[in-house]
Chain A
Amino acid sequence: MPQNTSSQEVYDAVVVGSGAGGGTAVHVLTAKGLKVALLEAGPMLDVATEFKEHKVPADYDHRGAEEGGKAYFGQGKPFGFFSTTSGGWQLEGEPYTVGEGSQFQWFRSRILGGRTNHYGRMSFRFAEYDFKPYDKDGLGFNWPVSYQDISPYYDKAEEFIGIAGTRENVPSCPDGQFLPAPPPKVHEMLVKKACDKLGIICIANRRAVITKNLNGRAACHYCGQCGRGCQTASAYSSSQVQVFPAMKTGRLKVFDLAMAREVLTDNNGKATGILYVDKKTRTEKIIKAKVVVLAASACESTRILLNSKTKEFPNGLANGSGLLGRYLMDTVGFGLSGTVPALEGMPHYNTDGYGGAHLFMPWWLWDKHNKLDFPRGYHIEIGGGYGMPNVGGYHGAARRWGYGANMKAKIRESYGTSIGFAGRGEMIPNIHSYCELDPNVVDKWGIPVLKFHFKWTDYEWKQARHMEKTFAEIITAMGGKVSGLSAAQRESQGISIPGTIIHEVGGARMGKSAKDSILNGYCQAHEMKNLFVVDGASFASNPDKNPTLTINALAWRACDYLAEEMKKGNV
């Protein structure tokens, strides 16, 4: 054990990570009267300076191309200058490696609130069948919990966070507690009509944006820039909606720029706290707590556990099963766009709305798998409208139309006439997709880093081809023209690069016993009762529902349970 400056205080719980899981944990635990320490590997969030949702490019001399035109050299911020991402695919001094023959990209945010500051806020419940996928088709693994177990926590999360949507009674995407949904935009109405014709379900989107005032947060003001952060917290972020209010209880202490290295344990099989690197002083420090709650993101929590080696657990904490890091999953992504003549010359209007598409298509073929050549399903997200002109937005058009009066007129005519579809589908967990510690590389804090291995299988490729065919059918039914892929493009861009949908989950999956999983249904380590993992690491499967809402619900349930068990003296 290295020399540590140890704080004397013993917290009831130490939470590592402040995203959807950690934010929910500190909210629930402080509300129950517990004294909580929260570690965040990035700095505190200053909403007033970080969030740029009401800026336009002309407010900056660089127009969004960033100082020195970094964006022209692929060195700008991921998702653009205005987005509130505080991290990226690569972090200076904090590398990860990828095994030979694999592709994987890992997006990390280092700031209070993590990726919830900028995520898409699509909020879909898992369906009943999503918890028992193995029972459905013999592939993958069942969860140790059922929809009925989680449903009350979906309710709690939805009521607290605020989700706009409509009740539709679609079995693949159960209804929740919804605030009113905004009306469909014009291009979306055309999509809906095309879907009606094709037998595809198209309903109001469900996003974590409040359309009515809620818990002291103001209703959405429809500036349409949720990805740039929301100064009024009308769009959910764990930082504004959960962590800041929890700080006001006086029971939460936030340690920012605190990079967790390992979980500390005693000789009685209990976790005793967290050993972390204080980035401000580059020294190792300890936080002592009765319960350790990891919520550092699926892969980062897995990494902390892999790095927490003890005599009893030489391959990582609570890893008697040897499954730590295994069955890593991302979402299957594929996109296709087209142009729609019916939209040409339309009187322009403000298409911002509540910051994303107002309609979406849940999986509609859940009972038609005998007619499909792939298992599971996907939902479809819609893009279109008169978006804010940005740097980079017209390079392709300029190349196509040359220059001069003609180019200018063509760009004007085509503005807002394109439509885009993105499929978000379920992958089957496979043995080729996992992360482990790289034995040869440490980050600049001296912590061993992750090495990723990942493979899509035929299940995912076939699903992506079904997406392509479906999107083309929708575009055609709208009277539009598909901007199709060439054979070469299909080979290179026919499916998303693993990790790039940023839905990576699994690694410390939940299951029935310590033999086949790391965690139980309460996100509690089978082999260490006062250790919980409340981020996406616990996922036994990765349904076509964006993971954040389920992380919120599972974390809420885990923390309710944790607090009860603590009262009973069981943890």
Chain B
Amino acid sequence: MSNFVPLETLDRRSWLRAIALGLTTLGTLEVEGAQHVHAETAAEKAKGPYRVKEFTAAEYKTLQRLAELIVPADQVSGSALDAGAPEFIDTLAHQNEQIANIFHGCFAWLDAEMRKRYQATFVATKPEQQTQMLDALVEAGRELAERQNEELVYQKSAVYKDFTGYTVRRANELGAGVAFFDWVRKMTVDAFYTSPVGFKDLNYIGNRALSRYTVPAEAMEYALKRSPFA
């Protein structure tokens, strides 16, 4: 390797090699400059429009709409749709029948429920009808979780350990939808926050190569001023 490699032509491998050599080869290389490694990886991944592999066109439209609703765009960052959540879910569903079946079944459940409520499929209903549906699922999910927590406490408690009657409760009529929404939501937030859009939303600025680690005084002052130690 030449001693005079300009930084911008350094690929990832030589950057690592440079660090490995204790930076002797590259003299005064500013390792912060190596950030381009990440940009480069992103560029490598830039490719043509995504081709849906698992879902039908109608299913995929539902998934896209759900992604937009679950993590919408705001003044800080784009939506889960912008972040590629539908692609992520389609890709994994295509690789795993278990995931595919969860989503196929639940898209159908969702449209059936929407037809019952609003006489139209999910994507064909008005935005406020869509959010009413999701609100109902969130509410039902909370109720279910609360009940499970209570049950856990009672199951663990010595007093109630033989009292099985407590766990027999009315089944939630949205049960299937709750399970579905949990899946679509968790995979959507995963896709969003692990994307460049999500990194920007959280303002995550780590995993860089630094020659020295410092903590900004501004941040330290901010927290101390608001702490009980002010």
- Interface residues of chain A, those whose CB is within 8 Å of chain B, are 53-59, 61-65, 67-69, 72-73, 182-187, 189-190, 193-194, 213, 216-225, 231-233, 341-354, 386-395, 397-399, 402-405, 407-409, 411-412, 415, 477-479, 486-488, 491-492
Contacts and interface: CB of A to CB of B under 8 A. Distances in A.
B72 A56 contact: no
25 contacts: A58-B195, A62-B92, A64-B194, A68-B99, A69-B96, A186-B222, A222-B210, A232-B16, A342-B223, A342-B226, A343-B223, A349-B216, A350-B208, A354-B213, A386-B206, A391-B190, A403-B69, A403-B185, A404-B131, A405-B72, A408-B74, A412-B76, A486-B153, A488-B153, A488-B156
B87 to A, nearest CB: 8
B37 interface: yes
Nearest to A343: B223
Which of the four size classes fits the interface of chain B?
A: 35 or more
Given A189-B220, A221-B19, A68 B92 contact: yes
B170 to A, nearest CB: 22
A507 to B, nearest CB: 33
A131 B16 CA distance: 42
A64 B191 CA distance: 10
A361 to B, nearest CB: 17
A392 B182 CA distance: 12
B164 interface: no
B190 A221 contact: no
Contacts of B177: none
Contacts of A216: 22
A399 B145 contact: yes
Task: Give me the 5 closest cross-chain CB pairs, A-B, nearest first.
Answer: A57-B194, A68-B96, A488-B156, A342-B227, A69-B92
Contacts of A345: 222
B112 interface: no
A367 B96 CA distance: 57
Interface in B113-155: 131, 134-135, 138, 141, 145, 149, 152-153, 155
Main SS of the interface on chain B?
helix
Given A59-B41, A487-B156, A218 B207 contact: no
Contact of A392 (B153, B155, B190, B215): B190
B42 A487 contact: no
Nearest to B203: A348
B189 A479 contact: no
B202 A386 contact: yes
Interface of B: 12, 16, 19-23, 31, 37-38, 41-42, 45, 69-72, 74, 76, 87-88, 91-92, 95-96, 98-99, 131, 134-135, 138, 141, 145, 149, 152-153, 155-157, 182, 185-187, 189-191, 193-196, 198-199, 201-216, 218-220, 222-224, 226-229
Nearest to B158: A491
Contact of A394 (B45, B182, B193, B196): B193
Contact of B72 (A190, A404, A411): A404
Nearest to B16: A231
Nearest to B226: A342
Contact of A353 (B199, B213, B218): B213
